[in-house]
Amino acid sequence: MDKAFINFKYVDAIARAGSIRRAAEALSITPSALNRRLISVEDELEVQIFERLPRGVRLNAAGEILIQHIRTQLSDFERVKSQIADLSGFRRGEVTIACSQALLPFFLPEQIDRYRTEHPMIQVCVLPRDRSAAEAALADFTADLAIVFEPIKISDFHPIITVRQEIHAVMDRSHPLARKTKLRLRDCLEYPLALPTKAYGVRWLFDQATEKRNQSILPLLESDSFEFLRMAVRNTDLITLQIEVGLAANETKKSVISRPIVELDIASGLLHFGHLRGRVLSVAAAKFATQLAQVLSERYESV
Amino acid sequence: MDKAFINFKYVDAIARAGSIRRAAEALSITPSALNRRLISVEDELEVQIFERLPRGVRLNAAGEILIQHIRTQLSDFERVKSQIADLSGFRRGEVTIACSQALLPFFLPEQIDRYRTEHPMIQVCVLPRDRSAAEAALADFTADLAIVFEPIKISDFHPIITVRQEIHAVMDRSHPLARKTKLRLRDCLEYPLALPTKAYGVRWLFDQATEKRNQSILPLLESDSFEFLRMAVRNTDLITLQIEVGLAANETKKSVISRPIVELDIASGLLHFGHLRGRVLSVAAAKFATQLAQVLSERYESV
DNA sequence: ATTACTGATGCAAAAATTGGTACACTAAAC
DNA sequence: GTTTAGTGTACCAATTTTTGCATCAGTAAT
C-alpha cells in the first residue's frame, strides 16, 4: 500500500464515509487508529477539519478547503506518476470515466477494447452515472472523464466535444414498424411504450415532444435500466427509445432493431464529453479522451 | 516539525543539497536514515529519482518531473494553510521575497513595517538576490515574490507592476556637486567613482551611457555591496550611483545625499515586481504584493 | 598510492503506530 | 421516560516502523 499522502487519504476516506468508524472499516484499520490520525492532522494544522456530530462527522469550512486541496493533490500526483511511467517506456496508469447508461452496451466496450490494445497496462474503470451523479463524480475527483446526455447544470464542466444524438425507436425485428426505414412519432404512439424514468434525457425529450402536441402519453413500462428495456421489447409489440450511441453498430443478426424518428417530431439531444474545468488530465486519461473525441466526431454531427 | 510531506521535503532537501550526506546534515538526521527514506520513495514510485554519482546525487528525468510537482505541492499547501488560517480569524502565514540590494536599506523595511502593523502574525523573509538569482529563487519556489532591476531573461516571470527608475548620484552632503539640484553625467565624471560590479543593473546602465560617448570610465572603487558604497562616499569626494527606490525618503538629516542625473545622459532603468508565472500566491503573499504594487505605482512612473 | 568523499547495508535501540477495550455522549426507537 | 444503537475519544500493552551507529564498497581528486 501507498504510504505517501496516507494521512490525506485517510481524511478523504472520512469525508466520503461521513463517519470515522465507517471509514475505518473501509480502510481496514481500527477506528481508534484512524481517529488519532485525524486528530494529528488537525493538530498540525491547528484547526478542526470536521465537526463532530452524534451520528458521525461533517467537514467544516476549513475542511472543505482542505478536502478540495487533497483531492486536487492526489489527482495531480496520479498525473505525475503517469508522466514518469511514460518516460520510463512502458505506459501505465488508470482512467476512470463516468457515463450515461446508453454508452455501456456497445460504445464503451468497443472503445475500451481498442484503447487497451494500444495501452495494455492501463486500467480503465467505468462508472454508470445519471446526469447529476456524473458531474458529482467529476467534482470530487472520482472520475477523470464524463459522457453525459443532456446534462442539467454544466458548471465546472469543460466540454471536449459535444455531438448531436438522434432518437431511435427500438423494437423486435418482427415488429410491424420494422418495415419502415424512418418513423414518425405518431407511428410509435400507436404501440405500447417502454421508457426510462424521468431522470433520463431520452425520456425528457420524449415528454417535451408529446407535450408540444398536447398529448400526455404514459408508458406502459418504466425502468431505470436501459438494458432491461432493450430486453423487454423482444418478442413483443413494445417500443422503447434510445439514442444513436446506445445502438448496436450492426443489427442484421440481432433480434432487436432500431429505426430513427424524424427530427421534426422529436428533437435530437446533445451528448457531452468532457472533464472537470481546471483539471489537468493524466497522460493516460488524455490519450483516452483524444480517442473518444475523435470517434465521436467521426460518427456524429458535432455542435 | 511538520510531518506531512516529510518524504517530499526530504527529497527536496536532497535535490537542493546535491548530496544525501549534506542534506542529512541540514535536516539534522543521519545519512543512513535519509538514504533509506529516499530509497523507499523510489521503491513506491518504482523509478529511480536520482542518479548516483561519485560526488553525490543528481536528479534524473523522472526526478525533475517529481521535484517540480513536490515544490508546486508544498507551495500549494502553504496557500491552503494560509486560506484556512484566514477564515479562522487570525491571519498567519509567511511571505518570502527575493529582491535587489537597492531595496534593502529603506524601501523594504518601511513596507514590511507597514505590512506587519496590519498583519502581525505573518512572517516575512527577505532574500537579497542579484538579477538571475532572484529568478532562480522564484523558479524553485524559494521565494514567492521578486523585485528585480533590469532583469536579463524574464521568462516564467509574471510582472505585477513595472516602474521606471531614475539614476541618482549619491555623495557626501558637503560635496561640491551637492549645490546643484540636477546633475549632468559629465559633472559626475570629474570626480572619483565608487560603483557596483558589472553584475548589477545600475552599473550596466552607466557603462552603456559612457560607451555611447566613447568614454571608458573605470571606477576608483568597486563593490558588490550597495551599503558599503553608500558608506564609502561619506566625508570624501567619491560619487556612487543608486536608483530612486534605494534612496532615503527624507535626506535633510542624513550625511549622504543624492541628486538626480538628467535622463538624456543616462537612461532610466526598469524595476520589475512580480512572481512566477502560473503560481498561485498564498493569501499572505497576495496581500503583501497588493500593498507593494500600490506603493510602487504611487511613487514612480509605471510602464 | 593515498586521501577524502560518496552512497549503501546490517543490527540493535528507540520511537511511533496500532489494536483492543472502555467510556461519555446523543439522537432515535420503544 | 427508558432503552438502544450509534458516534467520537482516551488509555495501555503489543507491534511495527524508524533511527543511529558502525562499516563496507566504490570513485575522484590529491
Of A7, A47, A81, the CB nearest to B88: A47
Are residue B171 and residue B263 in the same domain, yes or no?
A: yes
Q: Are A221 and A195 in contact (CB under 8 A)?
A: yes
A1 within some domain: no
Report the pLDDT value the prediction gives residue A90, as an integer from 0 to 100: 67
Report the pLDDT value the prediction gives residue B200, as an integer from 0 to 100: 86
Q: Is the per-residue pLDDT at B248 higher than 70?
A: yes
Cell numbers describing residue B169: 548620484
Report the pLDDT value the prediction gives residue A120, as an integer from 0 to 100: 86
Are residue A176 and residue A196 in the same domain, yes or no?
A: yes
Cβ within 8 Å of residue A117, ≥6 positions away: none
Q: Are B99 and B147 in contact (CB under 8 A)?
A: yes
B60/B39 Cα distance (integer angstroms): 15
User: Taking CB atoms and an 8 Å limit, are B77 and A69 in contact across chains?
Assistant: yes
Please tell me whether any atom of strand D lies within 7 Å of the Cβ of B33.
yes
- In the numeric block, the cell 539534522 is attached to B28
Please tell me whether any atom of strand C lies within 7 Å of the Cβ of A51.
no
Are residue A109 and residue A239 in the same domain, yes or no?
A: no
> In 3D, which of A3, A6, A8 has the Cα closest to residue A45?
A8
Q: Which residues in chain B have Cβ-Cβ distances shorter than 8 Å to A280? A: none
> CA B212 from chain center: how many Å?
30
Are residue B138 and residue B191 in the same domain, yes or no?
A: no
Report the pLDDT value the prediction gives residue B89, as an integer from 0 to 100: 66
Nucleotide closest to B31 measured between CA and C1': C7
The backbone torsions φ and ψ at residue A59, rounded to the nearest 5 degrees and listed phi first, read -60, 135
Domain region containing B70: 1-89
Q: Of B34, B56, B89, which residue is a domain's last?
A: B89
Higher pLDDT among residues A89 and B265, named by residue: B265
Is residue B56 very low, low, confident or very high in pLDDT (cuts 50, 70, 90)?
Answer: confident
Higher pLDDT among residues B194 and A152, named by residue: B194
Q: Are A142 and A125 in contact (CB under 8 A)?
A: no
B27/B11 Cα distance (integer angstroms): 11
Q: What is the pLDDT of residues B211-227, one digit of tens each?
A: 877 777 788 888 888 98
Cell numbers describing residue A135: 458531474
Minimum distance, in Å, between the CA of residue A46 and any CA atom of chain B:
9
Cβ within 8 Å of residue A21, ≥6 positions away: A31
Q: Of B89, B113, B131, which residue is a domain's last?
A: B89
pLDDT > 90: what percent of chain A? 49
Please tell me whether any atom of strand D lies within 7 Å of the Cβ of A239.
no
User: Taking CB atoms and an 8 Å limit, are A47 and B84 in contact across chains?
Assistant: yes
Q: How many residues does chain A have?
A: 303
Q: What is the pLDDT of residues B128-153, one digit of tens each?
A: 888 888 888 998 888 999 999 987 77
Are residue B151 and residue B279 in the same domain, yes or no?
A: yes
Are residue A100 and residue A182 in the same domain, yes or no?
A: no
CATH number of the domain residue B78 falls in: 1.10.10.10
> Residues B71-91: what's their mean pLDDT?
84
Please tell me whether any atom of strand C lies within 7 Å of the Cβ of B3.
yes
> In 3D, which of A237, A301, A298 has the Cα closest to residue A268?
A301
Q: Are B76 and B280 in contact (CB under 8 A)?
A: yes
Minimum distance, in Å, between the CA of residue A249 and any CA atom of chain B:
42
Report the pLDDT value the prediction gives residue A217, as an integer from 0 to 100: 77
Please tell me whether any atom of strand D lies within 7 Å of the Cβ of A153.
no
Q: Is the per-residue pLDDT at B1 higher than 70?
A: no
Please tell me whether any atom of strand C lies within 7 Å of the Cβ of A299.
no
B50 within some domain: yes
Least confident stretch, A283-292, B38-47, B80-89: B80-89
Q: Which residues in chain B have Cβ-Cβ distances shorter than 8 Å to A88? A: 47, 62
Say which amino acid occupies A237: D
Query: Could you tell me which residues are beta bridge partners of residue A152?
Result: none
Q: Are A275 and A146 in contact (CB under 8 A)?
A: yes
Cell numbers describing residue A188: 410509435
In order, the DSSP letters of A111-152 are HHHHHHHH-TTEEEEEEE--HHHHHHHHHTTS-SEEEEES-S
Is residue B242 very low, low, confident or very high in pLDDT (cuts 50, 70, 90)?
Answer: very high
Cβ within 8 Å of residue B7, ≥6 positions away: A4, B37, B40, B41
Nearest-5° angle of CA A207, CA A208, CA A210? 65
A 20-79 residues with CB < 8 A to B: 40-41, 44-45, 47, 61-62, 65-66, 69, 72-73, 76-77
B266/B215 Cα distance (integer angstroms): 13
CATH number of the domain residue B287 falls in: 3.40.190.10
Is residue B253 very low, low, confident or very high in pLDDT (cuts 50, 70, 90)?
Answer: confident
> In 3D, which of A166, A165, A209 has the Cα closest to residue A189?
A209
Are residue A261 and residue A196 in the same domain, yes or no?
A: yes
Cβ within 8 Å of residue A164, ≥6 positions away: A268, A269, A270, A271, A300, A301, A302, A303
Are residue B239 and residue B281 in the same domain, yes or no?
A: no
Q: Is the per-residue pLDDT at A161 higher than 90?
A: yes
Q: Are B166 and B204 in contact (CB under 8 A)?
A: no
Report the pLDDT value the prediction gives residue B92, as an integer from 0 to 100: 76
Cell numbers describing residue B91: 491571519
Q: Which residues in chain B have Cβ-Cβ distances shorter than 8 Å to A38? A: none
> In 3D, which of B244, B248, B98, B252 has the Cα closest to residue B168?
B244
> Residues B237-249: what's their mean pLDDT?
92
Buried b (16+ CB within 10 A) or exposed e, A220-249: eeebeebeebbebbeebebbbbbbbbbbee
- In the numeric block, the cell 538624456 is attached to B264
> In 3D, which of B115, B103, B124 has the Cα closest to residue B271?
B103
Is residue B283 very low, low, confident or very high in pLDDT (cuts 50, 70, 90)?
Answer: confident
Report the pLDDT value the prediction gives residue A2, as an integer from 0 to 100: 67
Q: What is the pLDDT of residues A191-243, one digit of tens each?
A: 999 999 888 889 989 998 888 777 777 888 888 889 889 988 999 999 999 99
Average pLDDT over chain A, rounded to whole?
89
B135 within some domain: yes
Please tell me whether any atom of strand C lies within 7 Å of the Cβ of A29.
yes
Q: Which residues in chain A have Cβ-Cβ distances shorter than 8 Å to B76? A: 69, 72-73
Are residue A148 and residue A18 in the same domain, yes or no?
A: no
B106/B241 Cα distance (integer angstroms): 16
Q: Of B53, B70, B89, which residue is a domain's last?
A: B89
Cell numbers describing residue A288: 483516452
Are residue B262 and residue B177 in the same domain, yes or no?
A: yes
* Cα distance from N-terminal residue to C-terminal residue, chain B: 44
Q: What is the pLDDT of residues A39-94, one digit of tens each?
A: 999 988 888 889 888 888 988 888 899 999 999 999 999 889 888 887 776 677 88
Strand A93-99 relative to strand A145-149, pairing? parallel
Strand B256-260 relative to strand B167-172, pairing? antiparallel
B161 within some domain: no
Q: Is the per-residue pLDDT at B288 higher than 60?
A: yes
Minimum distance, in Å, between the CA of residue A268 and any CA atom of chain B:
41
Buried b (16+ CB within 10 A) or exposed e, B191-211: bebbbbeeebbbbbbbeebbe
How many distinct structural domains can be found in chain B?
3
Report the pLDDT value the prediction gives residue B12, as an integer from 0 to 100: 93
Are residue B81 and residue B219 in the same domain, yes or no?
A: no
A214/A190 Cα distance (integer angstroms): 16
Count A/B contacts: CB-CB distance under 8 Å: 55
Helix (H) or strand (E) holding A148: strand A145-149
A14/A56 Cα distance (integer angstroms): 10
> In 3D, which of B174, B175, B211, B181 has the Cα closest to residue B193?
B175
Is residue B2 very low, low, confident or very high in pLDDT (cuts 50, 70, 90)?
Answer: low
B241/B196 Cα distance (integer angstroms): 8
A151 within some domain: yes
B95/B287 Cα distance (integer angstroms): 10
Report the pLDDT value the prediction gives residue A242, as an integer from 0 to 100: 94
Are residue A189 and residue A253 in the same domain, yes or no?
A: yes
A133 within some domain: yes
Of B7, B61, B83, the CB nearest to A87: B61
pLDDT > 90: what percent of chain B? 50
B227 within some domain: yes
Strand B157-165 relative to strand B269-276, pairing? antiparallel
B38 within some domain: yes
